[in-house]
Amino acid sequence: MKFLRWLQLAGSCLLLTNVVFAQKVNNKYNLSIRKTSQPVQIDGIVNDAAWQEADKARDFFMVLPMDTSFANIKTEVQMSYDDHFIYLVAVCYHGRNGNYVVESLRRDFAFQKNDNFLFFFDPFEDQTSGFSFGANAAGAQWDGFIYEGGKMDLSWDHKWISKVVNYEDRWVFEAAVPFKTIRYKKGITNWGINFSRNDLHAFEKSSWAPVPRQFPTVSLAYTGNLVWDAPPPSTGANISLIPYVLGGLSKDYDKGTPTDYRKDIGADAKISITSSLNLDLTVNPDFSQVEVDRQVTNLDRFELFFPERRQFFLENADIFGNFGYANIRPFFSRRIGLNVPIQFGARLSGKLNKDWRIGLMDMQTKSVPERDLPVQNFAVLSLQRKVFSRSNIGFLFVNKQSINYEPDKDPVTPEHRQYNRTLGLEYNLASPGNYWTGKALVLKSFSPVGGNRTITTAANLNYTSRQLFLSWQHEYVGKDFQAEVGYVPRTGYLKFNPQAGYLFFPKKSPVLSHGPLLQTIYYTNEQGRKTDYEHSLTYRTNFRNQAVLNAYVSKTYIELLMPFDPTNTGSDSLATGTQHHFNTAYIEYISKPKSLFTYAANVRYGGYYNDGSRLQLTGEFGYRFQPYVGITMSSTYNDIRVPGTWGRRSFWLVGPRVDVTLTNNFYFTAFGQYNEQTKNVNLNTRLQWRYKPASDFFIVYTDNYLPEYMSVKNRALVAKFTYWFSL
């Protein structure tokens, strides 16, 4: 197959870009860490004996707005440890008069919207995976798992303690991270380390070991060295049990059924097999505390993507869910148990050694007799082998199997099929300095429902420098490729997607950078006949105060491959094979994050299907009573005019939100959504009290209404209590 030959050629090109021997970029930046014999009090006061002896990391480098000098804002960091904890203190001096800038006291804040300090561990010295901890200037904690050399998984949530104290000329962050919280290889006395500071008053981001401005400061390719005076201590047995109890009630007013009362118990367990390999178990899991999805006005021809939000599936999710591309995901955990109860599950994930990483997950759902759904088992195996300096080869196997279910014949619907399997292999490129990145993959599916075009192949290669961005991507998805536990909204196509962009950096100007981005997305069917394209030119402008202005124009062609209602409301459909041409213009502005009042707005106008037109107005406006209350109003208006039976249709989507963070451990959110397209009003309120580290009490109330007369469709109330036992 010529597509496989293309994949082989692309993979060879990716390999050639990575064979150059790489010494660590920031190898000369070293910070010694010595064991302390005196207790360290986590109080934000730098008077412990450990801090009188510890080395200091200072003289940070500016990353933004430009990476050509030392930072203007002074930061000093010290580290120490004992048999149980790693200690850190950071003194963050003010550069200008004025209070700090933060969104709220909520955990895992948005980095770019808060004055904050973060630090990054690479405890395997592999420059691909690690851990991050930090806080904003009001003391809200941040922690996450680092994967693929510089991407953050903020769903990773563990027990550690910190304190922030504000002074007139500085704020101080002090933290103690238990060795049991992180994973690391025994005997290694050199870890990758870097520190990052964001100061919105000075419009400056900085790091201890220098990082080029086009990369995030979390990039593990640019860490310095944390040099231990002795190997870090062994963590010993590390077992945690996290049970929950739940009570609640719900009522469906549409169906007129009696009130349903809930009383559930369940538990998760975390068992450290080694210091770098963890086993997670769950029995009768419940995810009622998870925030509701943000609704969208759906005008797309294909299935929309909504991210996973359930905690059990999020931890170490990268090794399972990052296989493939955004629209070619052979595994998508949201396919498991969203509308079917989960009985139990297990996940083994982590490092086997410096070069090998494993992810093994098995989940089983309950049967649903009223829907003729059998018990189903979902098994996933993922392996990664590091190659060269920062790249890896990955293997994935996904199996969905119905248990004790033998229909007379293979049904059409995926929910009733006896099995579905996907096998995949991919190569991920990350060059030593992260300038070259890319991927090449091949997938094959297996299903009792026929077809022989079950292969998918794809590859991409990117070059990113301070000024220049170049990218090439192509995809082939066979018509019969079926990944039922994945997210592949479209099959039977070839796609080509080249991009090229350039940035200019004017001196002594409110504009930090500006420049064009050219992109083409071109689709054909499997025989090579054109079916879709979109050519676009975007002009990006970034201001020194971190405001953003973007504008683009595009030219689009679509040949419908199936009937499509351009309003997605159940009206008439445009016929298969009809061809549609239209042009679109778009402009967007995002205000500077420093202000108490922030806003973002965009306008899109252009043609639409069947020689129609579409106007879209989107806005988000927020005001914060720092740091306790944040109020946001988001809205989208679509005015669609399509000749024929559709005529003029308009859709409002409005979403007010209130976030209250009375302390670092007490959060309340009220989120409403009015969706005119689906004729639904949703109200979701969520109270969370973190009464102990990693232990929570939740109260969640949900209402759904019909917009006419605000008549209730259904409502539910849940109270849930979790507790983290360390055994």
Q: Is the pLDDT of residue 487 over 70?
A: yes
Q: Is the pLDDT of residue 67 over 80?
A: yes
Which of 10-19, 105-114, 264-273, 696-705 is predicted with the least confidence, judged by mean pLDDT? Answer: 10-19
CA 63/CA 70 separation, integer angstroms: 9
pLDDT in tens, 213-254: 999 999 999 999 999 999 998 877 788 999 999 999 999 998
CA 496/CA 609 separation, integer angstroms: 23
pLDDT in tens, 578-607: 999 999 999 999 999 999 999 999 999 999
User: What pLDDT shows up at residue 440?
Assistant: 97
CB atoms within 10 A of CB 127: 24
Q: Which residues contact 439 (CB under 8 A, 6 or more apart)?
A: 14, 325, 426, 427, 428, 429, 458, 459, 460
User: Residue 575: CA atoms inside 13 Å, Cβ hemisphere, count?
Assistant: 3
Q: Is the pLDDT of residue 148 over 90?
A: no
Q: Is the pLDDT of residue 97 over 90?
A: no
User: What pLDDT shows up at residue 462?
Assistant: 97
CA 20/CA 24 separation, integer angstroms: 12
Q: Are 149 and 434 in contact (CB under 8 A)?
A: yes
The model carries a pTM of 0.89
Q: Which residues contact 655 (CB under 8 A, 6 or more apart)?
A: 294, 295, 633, 634, 635, 671, 672, 673, 674
Residue with tokens 């009130």: 259
pLDDT in tens, 150-160: 888 887 777 89
Kindly report the average pLDDT of the chain as a whole number.
91
Q: Which residues contact 256 (CB under 8 A, 6 or more apart)?
A: none
Q: Dmax of the chain from CA atoms?
A: 81
363: buried, middle or exposed (CB in 10 Å: 19+, 13-18, 0-12)?
buried
Q: How far is CA 407 from CA 374, 414, 421, 663, in A?
A: 11, 13, 18, 55
List the domain boundaries for the chain: 36-228
Which of 351, 62, 24, 317 has its CA nearest to residue 191? 24
User: What pLDDT shows up at residue 407?
Assistant: 64
pLDDT in tens, 248-286: 999 999 888 899 999 999 999 999 888 788 899 999 999
CATH number of 36-228: 2.60.40.1190
